[in-house]
Structure 1
Amino acid sequence: MEVTTNPIFEDFSIAFRSKSNWQLKKAYWLFSVMNRRWLVAIGKFFTKLGFALKLPIKGIIKNTIYDQFCGGETIEDSQDTINELSKYNIGTILDYSVEGASTEKGFEATTKEILRTIERAANDDALPFCVFKATGIAVNKVFEKKQKGDKLTEKEQKSYDDSVARIDSICKAAYEGNVKLFVDAEESWLQGAVDEIAYNMMRKYNKETATVYITYQMYRADMLDQLKQGHALAKKEGFYLGAKLVRGAYMEKEAERAEEMGYPNPIQISKEATDLDYNTALVYCIQNLNEIYFCSGTHNQYSNFFLTALMEENNIAPNDDRVWSAQLYGMSDNISFNLASKGYNVAKYVPYGPVKAVMPYLFRRAEENTAVAGQSSREFTMIKEEMARRKQAKKA
């Protein structure tokens, strides 16, 4: 199918209608900073230093980068963000973005918080999905060893079994609360172990509809085949495949590890190859919508428009619950708000957690915006154009 334009994302008056003039100016300043890699590096250094020296910088961070990309410090603090997005028919995916748990006590605390997000989302249309990272509640080295097929020690086996039990409790809560649940992506040396558990969860909880969704990172050369294999397995065993399609998040790390350890880099040879597989995956999911529920998690404008064209061509209603789009809070509002305004199912990933604890997440957002070709520039340009449009409208 030939698709060459994406005009639905060019209406910035819709994209930024939830933003006041002051909020737009603040976002304009923030993305102008993130447009400069050296400023991001300096900001990261001084932020870490400020926290280490216990300087009073929390307020500055909270009112700038934190406010742009996070919903609040707690689920309750995020309610205003949930309400604001819901007003424009955009769902919220509460993402507990505190990282670094490495003990059983820490894993249990994280699990309890994830269960709280599911309890909050249960039977609330404003929160259609919840999300968790399996490695946030498990020992990574154990998962890595499990994936390689190495024999686990008695202690490691208990750790693994405890992790599976935690994951099962999360999936069961989502099933009972009628909440869709994303199992977030991992590095390739962990993803297989996580997928094995996730498929078992789908066998248990995806009989009537898709509750559990596996994440497929299409920047991996083998992932389109894995999507098809997952679908074949689901069809054979009688459960629905839940699939979240993304491009990916660990490209540099994957390449460095492959070179260091002497195995083929699992990442696609080019961005074009990734884009082709991503869009082919969209076609595949649409063609097999009777067995696949999926979410297109991307900031790529072409892929988002391509999906709307596919749905129209196949007579799939914009609000069909089997098809969703998702973007990160604070980014690509021209995609999210314009899709939602036309009746498509859209949700925003809304991270939350204490300011200091979510700094690793925020650093990644800033670095990714400078690394992804033109991302900060696009955000900056769109905000600039909307500010100019409002100024002109005021004069008229």
Structure 2
Amino acid sequence: MAIRRGVSNLFSKSIWCSSYKGLVNNAIFSRDKTTKAALSIDGEQQHRAVSNILDLEGGEATFSGITSKELLKTLLMLQMVSFEPVVDLSIKTLTSPLMQSPLFRAPLHHVVKRTTYSHFCAGEDVADASATLERLWQLGLRGVFYYGMEDAVDNASCDKNFTVFLQVINQSSKLPPDSVSFGCVKISAICPIQLLEHVSSLLRWQHKNKEFKLPWNEKGLPILAAESPTHSVQTMPEPLTKEEEHDWTLAHQRLWKLCRACEIQGMPLVVDAEYMSLQPAIDTIVYAAMLEFNKGCPPVVYGTFQAYLKDTKPRLSLALKGASEHGISLGVKLVRGAYITRETAVAASYNVPSPIHPSIQETHRCYDECAAIMLEEVANGKGSLLVGTHNVNSGKAAASKLDALGLSRSDPRVQFAQLMGMADVLSLGLAQAGFRVNKFLAFGPVSEAISFLVRRAEENRGMLGNTLLDRRCIRKELQRRFQQLIRI
């Protein structure tokens, strides 16, 4: 997984401005002209038109300003990422018990910082991430700060993480207007993880036993669908203790303060999805925040749905129905999912089928269907969607659907997002076509970002095609330059 900053990352800080600024700024399309063109054609013709608009193979223009040596190094590093044994070894190393030893951990952190960390993370603190975001903004791309801390164990760590999240939100006011599209928070960083697990167990028990009452959860949107697994609760869990009820209230207060800060800044707050063992509790607190802050449109609070789970589409349908009944706008971030290994292992420990779709094709289908559903909601003025995808086909499908519905490509209710270091060619292609595109900029000390890096490694192991387009474009550009050199 060795990936050097400025080499494997197509948005290297030393290259970004000179390579792309003019390209992106000159490529934004007039909305009126684009809408008329999109609505004048149908089905297959429209798909071809959007595919042509998303020029993801324009290597000469895309890679102008990047030397052939840098491109060659980038290609070699991306090739290594796509080599499964290297990814497997990286995961084993980062999760090895040897990481507990300072003698092993210190040199490994040094190596990780110069390689994988530099590729997927924007820096160690808010200042580093802000510098990265300002470069993105000059390229016509927006950013989302993503503090990589998670799994808090007590209120002290929750308060520490909350302070950083709030600092990040407030930092947006010091950056170019509209360059930061969203705030971002992980509930496991502002609520003790043991409490989230306990609350989730109680919610699953209530789902199995409708007469079971939870006084602290009397109103809200539906959390679990008929397809949602409940095998983890075989007997009634103990009720929350007074201390846990107090901590649950504190978690709500932390999220409320972050929502209020985002509301003041005029930007939404995205709440990440996490492990299935925590997700019911996360959804509960997120939906409660939606009831408070999403009374207008666009919404302030976005929840996240992971399309690799079998119950995602039914849960999305329930959430939309509940939002309609409560008269609020549903904000949705749609992703494929990042916990494949963990969820499969947990299901195996209970000797039950995995909650994840049995094939990547079914995950793709679920993702695209959920995206289409939400885009129609947006067109009807009832929701907002953040299309979080590294998959080119899904990106094109969402772009095509957006045009077919007559939505503006600059409409803030529909945005696209990719992680820093992943699907960079897709990011540029969407931005050049006039869509609103974000890069999630993970930041934090190396020691605190290991879990995030492991998930990125697992994603690359499970979806090796994520780098295929970038590698093909680089090869094509290197070949073009070589042929040009020969002619000279």
CA contact 1:100–1:136 (8 Å) conserved in 2: yes
Match of 2:266 among 158, 161, 178: 178
In the TM superposition, residue 73 of structure 1 has moved relative to its aligned partner by 1.2
1:184-333 correspondence to structure 2 within 5 Å: 184-208=272-296, 209-289=298-378, 290-333=381-424
Quote the Cα distance in structure 1 between the aligned partners of 2:201 and 2:110: 45
CA contact 2:82–2:464 (8 Å) conserved in 1: no
Does structure 1 residue 115 correspond to structure 2 residue 192? Answer: no
In the TM superposition, residue 117 of structure 1 has moved relative to its aligned partner by 1.2
In the TM superposition, residue 283 of structure 1 has moved relative to its aligned partner by 1.6
1:349-388 correspondence to structure 2 within 5 Å: 349-388=440-479
Does structure 1 residue 168 correspond to structure 2 residue 256? Answer: yes
In the TM superposition, residue 65 of structure 1 has moved relative to its aligned partner by 2.2
Task: Give the aligned residue type for 1:78.
Answer: A
Going from structure 1 to structure 2, the CA distance change for 1:239 and 1:44 (only over 3 Å counts) comes to closer
Quote the Cα distance in structure 1 between the aligned partners of 2:57 and 2:79: 20
Alignment TM-score, normalising by the size of structure 2: 0.75
Quote the Cα distance in structure 2 between the aligned partners of 1:347 and 1:14: 21
Identity %: 28
Deviations for 1:61-103, whole angstroms, at most 9, x for unmatched residues? 4333222211111111123311221112111111111345322
In the TM superposition, residue 45 of structure 1 has moved relative to its aligned partner by 5.8
Which consecutive unaligned segments of at least 5 residues does structure 2 have?
1-42, 203-236
Further displaced range: 12-21 or 229-238: 12-21
Deviations for 1:28-69, whole angstroms, at most 9, x for unmatched residues? 232222222333344556677588316556554433322221
In the TM superposition, residue 280 of structure 1 has moved relative to its aligned partner by 1.3
Equivalent residue pairs, number: 396
CA contact 2:291–2:328 (8 Å) conserved in 1: yes
In the TM superposition, residue 241 of structure 1 has moved relative to its aligned partner by 0.6
In the TM superposition, residue 19 of structure 1 has moved relative to its aligned partner by 5.1
Further displaced range: 261-270 or 305-314: 261-270
Counterpart of 2:127 in structure 1 is: 76
In the TM superposition, residue 299 of structure 1 has moved relative to its aligned partner by 0.7
CA contact 1:203–1:239 (8 Å) conserved in 2: yes
Going from structure 1 to structure 2, the CA distance change for 1:112 and 1:196 (only over 3 Å counts) comes to same
Q: Please state whether the residue corresponding to 1:128 is helix, strand or coil.
A: strand
CA contact 1:82–1:92 (8 Å) conserved in 2: yes
Match of 1:87 among 138, 149, 152: 138
CA contact 1:195–1:214 (8 Å) conserved in 2: yes
Task: Give the aligned residue type for 2:337.
Answer: G
Task: Give the aligned residue type for 2:124.
Answer: E
Further displaced range: 160-169 or 256-265: 256-265
CA contact 1:329–1:350 (8 Å) conserved in 2: yes
Further displaced range: 52-61 or 267-276: 52-61
Deviations for 1:94-148, whole angstroms, at most 9, x for unmatched residues? 1111345322211111111111111112483111112111012222222222122
Quote the Cα distance in structure 2 between the aligned partners of 1:21 and 1:158: 59
Give the aligned CA root-mean-square deviation in angstroms. 2.5
CA contact 1:94–1:350 (8 Å) conserved in 2: yes
Quote the Cα distance in structure 2 between the aligned partners of 1:195 and 1:253: 19
Going from structure 1 to structure 2, the CA distance change for 1:392 and 1:105 (only over 3 Å counts) comes to farther
In the TM superposition, residue 21 of structure 1 has moved relative to its aligned partner by 4.9
Quote the Cα distance in structure 1 between the aligned partners of 2:108 and 2:340: 32
Q: Please state whether the residue corresponding to 1:113 is helix, strand or coil.
A: helix
CA contact 2:200–2:278 (8 Å) conserved in 1: yes
Task: Give the aligned residue type for 1:62.
Answer: K
Counterpart of 1:67 in structure 2 is: 118
Quote the Cα distance in structure 2 between the aligned partners of 1:199 and 1:205: 10
Match of 2:430 among 329, 339, 343: 339
Counterpart of 2:19 in structure 1 is: none
Quote the Cα distance in structure 1 between the aligned partners of 2:284 and 2:116: 36
Deviations for 1:272-307, whole angstroms, at most 9, x for unmatched residues? 222222111122112111101111101111111011
Counterpart of 1:158 in structure 2 is: 246
Alignment TM-score, normalising by the size of structure 1: 0.91
Q: Please state whether the residue corresponding to 1:248 is helix, strand or coil.
A: coil
Further displaced range: 50-59 or 365-374: 50-59
Counterpart of 1:38 in structure 2 is: 85
Q: Please state whether the residue corresponding to 2:435 is helix, strand or coil.
A: coil
Quote the Cα distance in structure 2 between the aligned partners of 1:13 and 1:120: 36
Further displaced range: 1-10 or 160-169: 1-10
Going from structure 1 to structure 2, the CA distance change for 1:370 and 1:254 (only over 3 Å counts) comes to closer
Going from structure 1 to structure 2, the CA distance change for 1:74 and 1:387 (only over 3 Å counts) comes to farther
Task: Give the aligned residue type for 2:102.
Answer: A
1:14-53 correspondence to structure 2 within 5 Å: 15-16=62-63, 21=68, 23-43=70-90, 52-53=102-103
Further displaced range: 164-173 or 258-267: 258-267
Task: Give the aligned residue type for 2:140.
Answer: N
Further displaced range: 80-89 or 111-120: 80-89
